[in-house]
Amino acid sequence: MKSLQDPVSQLKGVGPKMAENLATLGIKTVGDLLTHYPSRYDDFAPTDLSVAKDKQKVTVKGTVVSDPLMSRYGYRRSRLSFRLMVGPGVVNVVYFNQPYLKKQVERSQDVTVLGTWDAPRQQVLGTKLIAKGSKAQAIGATYPANKHVRQATLRKLIAQAFEQYQNVIATLLPISLRQRYQLMERREMIKQMHFPSDTTMAEAAKRTAAFEEFFLFELRLQAIRRANRKDEGLKILYNNDDLRAFIKTIPFELTGAQKRVVNEICRDLRSPYQMNRLLQGDVGSGKTIVAAIAVMATVLAGYQVALMAPTEILASQHAEKLIKVFNGTHVKVALLTGAMTTKQRHQLTREIKTGQLNLIVGTHALIQNGVDYANLGLVIIDEQHRFGVNQRQQLREKGERPDVLAMTATPIPRTLAITAYGEMDVSVIDELPAGRQPIKTTWLKGNQANSALDFLDRQLRAGAQAYVVSPLIEESESLDVKNATDLYTRFKEHFSPEYKVGLLHGRMSNDEKATVMHDFQAGKVQVMVATTVIEVGVDNPNATVMLIYDADRFGLAQLHQLRGRVGRGKSQSYCLLVADPKTDEGTARMETMVATTDGFEVAQKDLELRGAGDVLGARQSGMPDFKVGDPVGDLKMLQIARADAGSLLATPGWDDKDENQPLVLYLKRHQLETHFD
């Protein structure tokens, strides 16, 4: 029995070498081949010959009105000619050196001729012939190909595959959806994708293919979510009054958005299911305190919490903040990083194991062997996209199905969040604490850089603190460091002795970093010259100026993160971008930064400038590679497919119905291969 799962080697002409070549295009099975869709169609609509110019490419449809005449001459040379009635007129058609066409034309036949118009002779110099029985199509498909597999090969193999397998192409989409959206049967769709009868059919097939892709993707995601929900997790049962009492000790009022996400998280904690929630919030939106409330709830219920951050700086900063927040409570905070003595480590791991410590903050040191938790109830992963899937999984496995809260300050446009994090529940803090003034952003050309220094002078005189970010040198950390060091020396000369300048870069020891951070935090250092190590999470509310050199070398997401280091207090903050962009895209980035401080808007713009794959890093995010559908351009369709997939799964007994068996089979087959974190 033939199946679309058959390896391509089942096809005639596909040996081991060709199979290998096809694999470079991601084609392993016959099904892969049949869903290797054209990237482009050429429509061969007829040309009006009465207005055609000499040497113009033309398509002529007509009836053959003479016996085709074939003459051969010289070595492998031939000439085929016939008369063609096109509308009321008759033209001459000539093909050179394509003797095999002789078999395809005869008098009285309707054919389409593609070629070049020879106006003086009123004749078409043919290049291609579309006739009954000829392989060429009225609409030409162009496939994504590469140096291993040629267009012509793909065309031939796809035609062969369709010929032999069309009877086993089962329709996956439920009939109700096909009717509602007027979609094609799958076999017809695949046929029209590859060999469309006309452009309208090609479009219709594409619509079906895109919907099918979205629907299957959503079905898979949501099936995974449903399966996870069924999984028994921990019930974190805390005393609500105690939690309220803790929230009262927070020195500010939570924003509406913070309250909402706290409720969402707490509901998950209490529920018997394993939480898998992503907390998104722009820089400075106050994710830390939300996380702290989740920590308190978990500890009140008698469980431990592990908070993992991507860098030592961030981890120690979280720890410092949380120690303050939890001062005088039951929450005992520990910081576990790679930079500890063995003795310290032993002491700590012992106290983690016995449960004396109940909030363990750290880097990936948290997931190392030898770190065992007494009863891990909640895992928090900060800047989760910086960790690999495995690291996140390892932390999870340190407990018995602990709840998971992932946090990110890299806003993902809502349009993408749906697809990229479809298997997670998403909470969004879309409101900044009251009293924040939007950061004023200015873009200065290189020849205006001095005015940036003047501005900095004035701000420092007024008591401000500033970050200065040095140019980024692509792919070279050591050059970045050199840049920062040079800049540091120049700034020291410029500003001392009145103001103290500090230096922060990735090659410094952890102690050095901690010292300068601490001095900056304490106001002993006024100007912090840094590489992008400060990009994530560093929090000093007194810093109000961010000066970035060669800003066009940074991506939008990074610029937005850097800018987010200021504007964290009540005073007006400023971001100065010094840049002479060399590309339109670079200019667009600068303009976007000046135009908005809203991270979601920045992210949306980033998406438009760079495309989805680049924004998310397709592999890491679980973002699928759609072949036909465009999750940005076809967002509406994606949303509809998502809703329909959800309601199908929610229909009791849907998987027992005969008509849904192809879908059930599809899910069985694909769930195993899919690794969504």
Is 322 one of the binding residues for ligand ADP (CB under 6 A)?
A: no
Binding mask 547-576 for ligand ADP (x = CB under 6 A): ---------------------x--------
Q: For the stretch 168-177, what's the b/e string if a residue is b when 16 or more beta carbons lie within 10 angstroms of its beta carbon? A: ebebbbbeeb
Single residue of 171, 192, 285, 521 touching ligand ADP by CB under 6 A: 285
Q: Is 286 in the site for ligand ADP (CB under 6 A)?
A: yes
Q: Are 116 and 130 in contact (CB under 8 A)?
A: no
Supply the minimum distance, in Å, between the C-beta of residue 501 and ligand ADP: 24
Give dist(CA 557, CA 235) in Å, integer: 37
Between 22 and 257, CB nearer to ligand ADP: 257
Number of H helices, E strands in the chain: 23, 21
409 binds ligand ADP per the rule CB under 6 A: yes
- Which one of 288, 304, 408, 410 is in contact with ligand ADP (CB under 6 A)? 288
Cα radius of gyration rounded to whole Å, the chain: 32
> CB of residue 383 vs Mg ion: minimum separation in angstroms?
8
| Closest residue to ligand ADP in the complex (CB) | 286
Tell me which stretch binds ligand ADP (CB under 6 A): 198-206, 279-287, 330-338, 582-590.
279-287
Q: Which stretch binds Mg ion (CB under 5 A): 126-134, 249-257, 492-500, 537-545?
A: 537-545
CB of 420 vs ligand ADP, minimal distance in Å: 20
Q: Is 447 helix (H, G, I), strand (E, B) or coil?
A: helix
User: Kindly report the CA angle at 77 between 75 and 83, in degrees rounded to 5?
Assistant: 160
Both tokens assigned to 658: 């005969």
CB 527 within 8 A of CB 577: no
Q: Is 439 in the site for ligand ADP (CB under 6 A)?
A: no
165 closest CA partner among 54, 11, 2, 355? 2
Residue 151: is it exposed, middle or buried by C-beta count within 10 angstroms (0-12/13-18/19+)? Answer: middle
Of the candidate spans 252-260, 396-404, 531-539, 579-587, the one that interacts with Mg ion by CB under 5 A turns out to be 531-539
- Which one of the spans 66-74, 284-292, 437-445, 497-505 is the region binding ligand ADP (CB under 6 A)? 284-292
Whose Cβ is closer to ligand ADP: residue 263's or residue 647's? 263
- Which of Mg ion, ligand ADP, none does residue 233 bind to, with CB < 5 to 8 Å depending on kind? none
**Checking DSSP bridges between strand 57-64 and strand 110-118, what pairing results, if any?**
antiparallel
First to last CA, the chain: 36
Give the bridge partners for 273, in sequence order: 232
**How far apart are CB 469 and ligand ADP at their closest, in Å?**
18
Q: Which is nearer to Mg ion, 296 or 503 (CB)?
A: 296
Residue type, 36: H
| Interaction of residue 287 with ligand ADP, rule CB under 6 A | yes
Measured in whole angstroms, the distance separating CA 535 from the mean position of its chain's CA atoms is: 20
506 binds, among Mg ion, ligand ADP, none (CB under 5 to 8 A by kind): none
Rounded Cα distance, 90 and 86, in Å? 6
Nearest residue (CB) to ligand ADP, 324 versus 636: 324
541 is an interface residue for ligand ADP by CB under 6 A: yes
Contacts of 281 (CB under 8 A, 6+ apart): 257, 261, 287, 290, 407, 409, 428, 429, 430
Binding site for ligand ADP (CB under 6 A): 252-255, 258, 281, 283-289, 409, 433, 539, 541, 568
Binding site for Mg ion (CB under 5 A): 537
